[in-house]
């Protein structure tokens, strides 16, 4: 249950942002999470039962709450209630059959005669919900259109811009923008400030952001190639939002969430109001397919173990697979420096790779300089994954292993990267 718990902890923290008023359901699930951390299972069960009885609770809140109740009953060795609540969770939409099958909290149910039936039901419902064909993936760009309407009104009335963005943009949000707001923005005032302090930039990117919808054929072609290389790929719908430069891309239950204003560069776009790292990261719309594949890899890859090495491998494999699928080198700006300083980077990375502090390697934009890019953990992870793939005889099997790896240290050893680098 740990990956699920972590997801909800992150979501709950975002929902609790001061400038966003949480619903009663948000408050209840925050409370349930707090109790869960104390491992007081009876109290946690009671707290999650409040969530499922709350009329304002979102369907996924209820599904996850039923599932957590099932797990806590499993830990209390109460098989009848564990079974009953697992059934309710599946009926409510919790159908991650792979997670259910390997969750040790439910081990006591594995010998129950109903276990195979419940697992089969979860798999059946999961298969029904799954997007099987790349052409069936939806590219949702309605939030971009709403943003530009709100932006025009906010620009005319800057004194009330925050209220305008709330009324005309966030209150009309798609499911994707709702999740993006909770996970990345969290504050109307923060968003409004970041938008209005870059008037020239936003003036020039309207045309490029509106052109995103025309990228669907190229994105579908990339997804089709991904599926040919890895038939088990699970697709998601894609939501394009304007996020005020807080995230270029992330994932949620709703789908892949793309910050369109960070992939909006092009001829005539004025980037002088952006910081150094923002200018360097600002990509053109033509790079959209590789960015989308990068995010889709995150939806399909195995879990991290909390170490810097695992984090770097997860991001590096996303870059590597995106390049394999599209032919475009994702995060190409890292490679000239990385290639010129690879041995010294590896020596430094080894000193920190088994720890949990990624501040010098990932999402470290404050360390960007004209001479040295930030995010070099992406490059190190990419090179390890590239080394593993290059030496593999069966490329299809190698890709499947990359996307499902669970042991970062073992993968590093299998790649032969360190030994090959030492021989250069």
Confidence of residue 399 (pLDDT cuts 50, 70, 90): very high
pLDDT for 25: 78
pLDDT beyond 50 at 17 = no
Domains of the chain with CATH codes:
2-129 (1.25.40), 134-296 (no CATH), 301-423 (no CATH)
User: Residue 8: pLDDT band by 50, 70, 90 thresholds?
Assistant: very low
Report the pLDDT value the prediction gives residue 379, as an integer from 0 to 100: 98
Identify the DSSP state of 287.
Answer: G
Report pTM: 0.79
Give the bridge partners for 250, in sequence order.
257
User: How high is the pLDDT of residue 374?
Assistant: 97
Q: State residue 347's pLDDT score.
A: 98
3-class DSSP assignment, residue 87: helix
User: What's residue 58's pLDDT?
Assistant: 79
The answer, yes or no, to whether residue 2 has pLDDT greater than 50, is: no
Average pLDDT of span 58-81: 92
pLDDT at 291 over 90: yes
Strands of 108-242, DSSP E: 139-140, 238-241
Residue of 248, 375, 365, 381 whose CA lies nearest to 312: 381
Strand ranges of the sheet holding 139-140, from the earlier edge strand across to the other edge: 139-140, 238-241, 256-259, 249-251
Name the DSSP class of 131: B
Q: Using the predicted structure, report yes or no on whether residue 19 has a pLDDT greater than 60.
A: no
Taking a C-beta distance cutoff of 8 angstroms, is the pair 255, 239 a contact?
yes
Residue 278 has pLDDT above 70, yes or no: yes
> In three state form, how does the secondary structure of 292-320 look?
HHHHHHHHHCCCCCCCHHHHHHHHHHHHH
Tens of pLDDT, residue by residue over 231-264, are: 999 899 999 999 999 988 888 878 999 999 999 9
Average pLDDT over residues 326-331: 93
Residue indicated by tokens 């906010």: 154
pLDDT band at 11 (very low <50, low <70, confident <90, very high): very low
Distance in angstroms (rounded) separating the CA atoms of residues 291 and 300: 15
Please state, in angstroms and rounded to a whole number, the distance separating the CA atoms of residues 106 and 86: 9
Identify the CA nearest to 209 among candidates 295, 149, 275: 149
- Residue 293's contacts (CB-CB under 8 Å, 6 or more residues apart) are 222, 223, 226, 318, 321, 322, 325, 326
Residues 130-143 have pLDDT tens digits of 888 999 999 999 99
For tokens 């609770």, name the residue.
Answer: 57
Q: What is the mean pLDDT of residues 180-189?
A: 90
38-47, 164-173, 276-285, 299-308: least confidently modelled range: 299-308
**Cβ neighbours of 86 (radius 10 Å):** 27
**Residue 258 phi/psi, 5° resolution?**
-115, 125
198 or 28, greater pLDDT: 198
Q: Are 73 and 81 in contact (CB under 8 A)?
A: yes
The structure tokens listed for 65 are 């709450």
Cα–Cα distances in Å, from 373 out to 323, 334, 357, 368?
A: 20, 6, 18, 5
Closest CA to 106 of 123, 85, 136: 85
Q: Residue 12 has what pLDDT?
A: 37
């Amino acid at each position: 249950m740990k990956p699920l718990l972590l997801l909800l902890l992150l979501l709950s923290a975002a929902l609790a942002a001061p400038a966003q008023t949480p619903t009663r359901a948000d408050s209840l699930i925050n409370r349930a999470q707090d109790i869960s951390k104390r491992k007081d299972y009876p109290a946690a069960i009671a707290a999650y039962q409040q969530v499922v009885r709350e009329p304002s609770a979102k369907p996924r809140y209820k599904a996850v709450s039923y599932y957590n109740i099932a797990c806590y009953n499993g830990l209390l060795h109460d098989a009848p209630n564990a079974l009953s609540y697992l059934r309710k969770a599946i009926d409510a939409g919790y159908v991650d059959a792979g997670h259910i099958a390997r969750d040790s909290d439910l081990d006591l149910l594995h010998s129950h005669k109903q276990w195979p039936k419940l697992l089969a039901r979860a798999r059946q419902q999961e298969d029904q919900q799954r997007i099987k064909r790349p052409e069936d993936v939806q590219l949702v760009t309605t939030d971009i259109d709403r943003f530009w309407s709100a932006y025009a009104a906010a620009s005319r009335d800057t004194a009330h811009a925050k209220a305008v963005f709330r009324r005309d943009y966030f209150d009309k949000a798609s499911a994707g923008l709702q999740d993006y707001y909770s996970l990345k923005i969290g504050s109307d005032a923060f968003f409004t400030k970041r938008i209005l302090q870059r008037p020239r930039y936003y003036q020039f990117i309207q045309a490029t952001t509106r052109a995103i919808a025309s990228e669907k054929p190229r994105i579908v072609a990339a997804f089709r190639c991904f599926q040919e290389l890895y038939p088990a790929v699970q697709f998601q719908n894609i939501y394009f939002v304007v996020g005020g430069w807080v995230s270029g891309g992330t994932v949620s239950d709703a789908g892949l969430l793309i910050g369109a204003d960070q992939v909006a560069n092009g001829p005539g776009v004025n980037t002088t109001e952006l910081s150094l790292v923002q200018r360097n990261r600002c990509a053109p719309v033509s790079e959209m397919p590789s960015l989308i594949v990068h995010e889709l890899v995150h939806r399909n890859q195995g879990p991290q173990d909390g170490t810097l090495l695992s984090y770097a491998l997860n991001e590096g494999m996303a870059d590597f697979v995106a390049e394999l699928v599209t032919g475009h080198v994702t995060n190409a700006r890292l490679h000239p420096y990385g290639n010129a300083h690879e041995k010294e980077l590896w020596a430094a990375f080894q000193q920190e790779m088994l720890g949990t502090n990624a501040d010098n390697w990932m999402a470290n934009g404050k360390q960007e300089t004209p001479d040295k890019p930030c995010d070099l953990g992406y490059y190190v992870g990419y090179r390890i994954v590239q080394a593993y793939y290059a030496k593999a005889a069966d490329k299809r099997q190698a890709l499947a292993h990359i996307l499902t790896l669970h042991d970062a240290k073992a993968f590093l050893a299998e790649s032969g990267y360190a030994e090959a680098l030492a021989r250069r």
